[in-house]
Chain A
Amino acid sequence: MTAGLGKAPRWVDLALVPLVNLVAALIVSGIVVAAVGQSPLKALEVLVTGSFGYGEAIGYTLYYTTNFIFTGLAVAVAFHAGLFNIGGEGQAYIGGLGVGIACLWLGGILPFPLIFLLAIVFGAAFGAGWAYVPGWLQAKRGSHVVITTIMFNFIASALMTYIMVYVLIVPGQQSPESRGFDPSTFLPTAKQMLGSVGIEIAASPLNLSFLVALIAAAAVWVFIWYTHLGYELRVVGKSERAAVYSGISPDRHIILAMAISGGLAGLVGLNEIMGVQHRLLLNFTGGVGFVGIAVALMGRNHPFGICLAALLFGALYQGGSELAFSMPQLSKEMVVVIQGLVILFCGALEHLFRPQLERLFAKPLPAKA
């Protein structure tokens, strides 16, 4: 005789399942590493110490995390409105252009706080503008955003090449890069910020934009679940018929969701351009837009989950480069394979272990009254 089963507690869903998925990914990765004749345990050790083992490593991990939070949030906002925004890469790229223009144009003219605010506005606006077009096409012409945002990634790339090579390049220079920004525009690094309050940490690219990313995550959380506009976006995402019934024009909301999504992706430029490179250059996004999809998937489109998933991917990025460096027998491609396995298990195969775990931890219900 079986008693009824209730729901599993929330921590199973939010913590245990992702953890089990992660462990599974690492085990399979271990097998791959062993298959090429290397020690999986040593690789794991390098991966962990390489990402969290010492100050500089942590700094790098969090620096990567910053980008992934922005792009993960971007995917999540669109997702809640029922849209799959694959264009985070292009939006981040164009957003970076906005940040760069603000710095090139106003650097040395305005004080840092103003430039900082304007760079946020420019980055978000450029990214939003780049996502606005696919949003508009989806809403008014029915062109699927999945297709158009992919195409816009290519267009962004071509456009940036043109701008860098013909417009912003420093005359007489070989590589297509803009002139360096005025130092007054540089985002303070974590080392500088903590140093000013007397805490010494190792130097790393980690900078003020990390805090911006955390604030953005909190803002997205409030927006999606605690504002009526967020509510309406979710209604549109669940059912357009219910949306129209309740007085929402889905077109406007689709465009709005895409713009917000693009704006979030555009903030990657803060970290990369204003925080680290201090000039505009080509390909500074390096795939963060695509990783954002996996981050959002693994973070279950919840800002808190996204921050955790972004941290994991930040660690994989940083630890992965350590791995390639200290175990040269593991080629760079091997590191990519491991990252891919994590994405596969934590994202795509999300439901692999979920049913079993939920059954295992479901609370038995009271027996017959």
Chain B
Amino acid sequence: MTAALALDSAIAPPQGGRWAIEAIGIDKWFGPVHANRDVTLRVAKGSIHGIVGENGAGKSTLMNILYGYHRADRGEILIDGKAADIHRPSDALALGVGMVHQHFMLVEPFTILENVLLGAEGGTLLAEGRDKARAELERLGRDYGLEVDPDALVEDLPVGIQQRVEILKALYRGAETLILDEPTGVLTPQEADRLFQFLRVLRDQGKTVILITHKLREIMDVTDRVTVMRRGAVVADLPTQNTSKEELAELMVGRKVKLGGDKARAAPGAVVLEVEDLHVNDEQGKPRVRGVTFNVRAGEIVGIAGVSGNGQTELLEALGGIRPAASGRIRLKGNEVGTRRPGLTARILRRLGLGHVPEDRHRMGLVAGFAAYENAILGHQDEAQYHRGWLLDRARMVDYCGEWMKGYDVRPDNPLLEALSFSGGNQQKLVVAREMEHAPDLLLVGQPTRGVDIGAIEFIHKRLIAMRDAGKAVLVVSVELDEIMALSDRILVMFDGRIIGEVSPETATERQLGLMMAGIAEAA
């Protein structure tokens, strides 16, 4: 391990090439948080460079500094060997650095063309720029295999395409180096594969890519070199071919990580959740869930597998009382729950013992602008345990939140910080902690480990299995097949709004599941 840690900061660019980006001795503080500690990163031109590290390791911060969102407190940035003074994203763009964020930054009611044009209108009248942009979009689409319909509205697009728009935006502005911050978190494996194909094309055309991801498989697959960060500092910088997933995991976390921990056989008890012929529509009234019937028992984990966009999101939202069902029944512990009044339904469900980790933690699971401790009671704000008499007991909220943050390794473990100032993975851990610690009888989990590091994945999986062993019913929706296979006692496969089969993780193969998810094969 020490060998890998030896930091070879004098490495020469490969094959006499040049550095696309050099960040030297970067330090960045957020209040008391030292987010980047003397970080040095060199990225060779024409390469795909991976960055891995735990949640809160400072990856996004470093990229935001390169892109001009934040200013480094100390350090130097060189682009193409020249010292660069980057104050704002437009400076970075002018130097050929583009970025696709963890959370997309698109104007949803605008078309693709308008989004690409935004900020690069090129002229007083929109028309001139628009025609140029349309032609350019077509060319980019042809060159890189990134075809899109320029007149489609962004809000109607699946996330995979939205991300494509983000990339096109950057390329349209002449990006030579493309930074992608956890681009695959929201993608299906198929969409991710397509993205990687495209990144290779970019590299072969001499562009440079910086890729942040928690999925080590992807690092091994697609990168040429990888930098490992831990607690703000760079701890290793290696050629990908000389390392392995296991070594990277260990470097990141500082100890050995064991994924897919063994679990005892499930001992399912009474039925907790019963869903009967449930139909759910989306905002436009289009049917998304089309007659789904299943149940979840105490002491088992049921996994719902499926390519994203096949109704899982809507199903989960209906079960969580957030989206009205068009028809059908939901029973929780034998209680019929009305499904027509979102909000009210959610409140009733919670009183009956529902916990819900939503897919969209950013806009649903957390309230931006609230401190962590206020977010720690979201959904439980009317419970007596948080009150003294009529009033909210802030001291107790802060205490509990602090305990949970320690227990779930949320960093920094300060309950008074605003929720949005936590890194993406730490926000997820905060939500998971809240929902698990309120001791639900039924836990709905959407994408349990989206955006969290492998140490945390290991931890969250362990907790989910512990909840099951404690006799709770758990329903997991995930687009990660590995995750579904590792966690579930039963797997339901969703395709086109229906459950098209149930398989046992012991007998199913990934291939069989993959075919079912594509709607090609029925259950064996």
Flag if B343 contacts A244 (CB, 8 Å): yes
Flag if A227 contacts B392 (CB, 8 Å): yes
Which of B109-117, B217-225, B331-339, B376-384 touches A? B376-384
What CA separation (Å) do A239 and B344 show in the bound complex? 16
User: Which residue of the partner chain B has the closest CB to A243?
Assistant: B343
Residues of A within 8 A of B368 (CB): 238-239
**A15 contacts the other chain (Cβ, under 8 Å)?**
no
Which of A1-9, A203-211, A341-349 touches B? A1-9
Among A1-40, those with CB < 8 Å from B are 1-7
Residues of B within 8 A of A365 (CB): 29, 31-32
**B406 contacts the other chain (Cβ, under 8 Å)?**
no
Question: Using an 8 Å CB-CB cutoff, how does the interface string of B323-358 with A read, 1 for contact, 0 for none?
Answer: 000000000000000000111101111100000101
Question: Using an 8 Å CB-CB cutoff, how does the interface string of A223-246 with B read, 1 for contact, 0 for none?
Answer: 001111001101100110111111
What CA separation (Å) do A258 and B379 show in the bound complex? 23
Residues of A within 8 A of B387 (CB): 228
Given contacts A2-B74, A3-B73, A238-B367, contact A247 B390 (CB under 8 A): no
**A331 contacts the other chain (Cβ, under 8 Å)?**
no
Flag if B27 contacts A4 (CB, 8 Å): yes
Shortest distance between the CB of A156 and any CB in chain B (Å): 31
Among B29, B350, B363, the residue within 8 A (CB) of A247 is B350
Among B31, B378, B386, the residue within 8 A (CB) of A246 is B378
What CA separation (Å) do A242 and B343 show in the bound complex? 10
What CA separation (Å) do A193 and B308 show in the bound complex? 70
Residues of B within 8 A of A225 (CB): 392
Shortest distance between the CB of A239 and any CB in chain B (Å): 6
Flag if B74 contacts A245 (CB, 8 Å): no
User: Which residue of the partner chain A has the closest CB to B341?
Assistant: A249
**A170 contacts the other chain (Cβ, under 8 Å)?**
no
**A95 contacts the other chain (Cβ, under 8 Å)?**
no
What CA separation (Å) do A365 and B370 show in the bound complex? 25
Given contacts A226-B394, A244-B342, A246-B381, contact A239 B32 (CB under 8 A): no
What CA separation (Å) do A65 and B344 show in the bound complex? 41
Among B320, B350, B367, the residue within 8 A (CB) of A242 is B367
Flag if B363 contacts A242 (CB, 8 Å): yes
Flag if A248 contacts B343 (CB, 8 Å): yes
**B45 contacts the other chain (Cβ, under 8 Å)?**
no
Shortest distance between the CB of A240 and any CB in chain B (Å): 9
Among B29, B322, B344, B366, the residue within 8 A (CB) of A4 is B29
Flag if A247 contacts B367 (CB, 8 Å): no
Shortest distance between the CB of A250 and any CB in chain B (Å): 7
**A141 contacts the other chain (Cβ, under 8 Å)?**
no
What CA separation (Å) do A328 and B191 show in the bound complex? 75
What CA separation (Å) do A245 and B358 show in the bound complex? 8
Among B347, B363, B377, B392, the residue within 8 A (CB) of A241 is B363
**A222 contacts the other chain (Cβ, under 8 Å)?**
yes
Flag if B344 contacts A249 (CB, 8 Å): yes
Flag if A250 contacts B343 (CB, 8 Å): yes
User: Which residue of the partner chain A has the closest CB to B387?
Assistant: A228
**B94 contacts the other chain (Cβ, under 8 Å)?**
no
What CA separation (Å) do A7 and B387 show in the bound complex? 31
What CA separation (Å) do A6 and B28 show in the bound complex? 11
**B38 contacts the other chain (Cβ, under 8 Å)?**
yes
What CA separation (Å) do A234 and B381 show in the bound complex? 12
What CA separation (Å) do A251 and B342 show in the bound complex? 11
What CA separation (Å) do A262 and B74 show in the bound complex? 52
Flag if B364 contacts A5 (CB, 8 Å): no
Among A228, A241, A249, the residue within 8 A (CB) of B381 is A228
**B98 contacts the other chain (Cβ, under 8 Å)?**
no
User: Which residue of the partner chain B has the closest CB to A226?
Assistant: B391
Flag if A239 contacts B73 (CB, 8 Å): no
Residues of B within 8 A of A245 (CB): 320, 322, 346, 356, 358, 364-365, 378-379
Residues of B within 8 A of A226 (CB): 391-392, 394
Given contacts A226-B394, A227-B391, contact A2 B347 (CB under 8 A): no
Question: Using an 8 Å CB-CB cutoff, how does the interface string of A342-368 with B read, 1 for contact, 0 for none?
Answer: 000000000000000000000001001
Flag if A228 contacts B382 (CB, 8 Å): yes
What CA separation (Å) do A1 and B25 show in the bound complex? 11
Residues of A within 8 A of B34 (CB): 4
What CA separation (Å) do A152 and B358 show in the bound complex? 40
Shortest distance between the CB of B415 and any CB in chain A (Å): 15
Given contacts A1-B74, A365-B29, contact A242 B364 (CB under 8 A): yes
Residues of B within 8 A of A238 (CB): 367-370
Shortest distance between the CB of A247 and any CB in chain B (Å): 3
What CA separation (Å) do A225 and B397 show in the bound complex? 13
What CA separation (Å) do A242 and B379 show in the bound complex? 9
Residues of B within 8 A of A247 (CB): 321, 343-344, 346-350, 379
Residues of A within 8 A of B31 (CB): 6-7, 365
Question: Using an 8 Å CB-CB cutoff, how does the interface string of B417-446 with A read, 1 for contact, 0 for none?
Answer: 000000000000000000000000000000
What CA separation (Å) do A239 and B369 show in the bound complex? 10
Flag if A244 contacts B381 (CB, 8 Å): no
User: Which residue of the partner chain B has the closest CB to A7?
Assistant: B31
What CA separation (Å) do A333 and B366 show in the bound complex? 49
Residues of A within 8 A of B341 (CB): 249
Residues of A within 8 A of B182 (CB): none
Among B376-415, those with CB < 8 Å from A are 377-379, 381-382, 386-387, 390-392, 394
Flag if B347 contacts A248 (CB, 8 Å): yes
User: Which residue of the partner chain A has the closest CB to B28?
Assistant: A4
Flag if A368 contacts B392 (CB, 8 Å): no
Flag if B347 contacts A368 (CB, 8 Å): no
Residues of B within 8 A of A244 (CB): 322, 342-343, 346
**B374 contacts the other chain (Cβ, under 8 Å)?**
yes
Among B226-266, those with CB < 8 Å from A are none
Flag if A5 contacts B379 (CB, 8 Å): no
Shortest distance between the CB of B29 and any CB in chain A (Å): 3
**Shortest Cβ-Cβ A-B pairs, 4 listed:** A4-B29, A247-B347, A249-B343, A246-B379
A sample of 13 cross-chain residue pairs with beta-carbon separation below 8 angstroms, ordered by A number, consists of A4-B29, A4-B73, A5-B29, A231-B381, A231-B392, A235-B367, A239-B364, A245-B346, A245-B379, A246-B346, A247-B344, A247-B349, A251-B343
Other than the known A234-B370, A245-B322, what 12 A-B pairs have Cβ atoms closer than 8 Å?
A: A4-B34, A6-B29, A6-B31, A226-B392, A231-B374, A231-B377, A235-B367, A239-B367, A241-B363, A244-B322, A245-B356, A365-B29
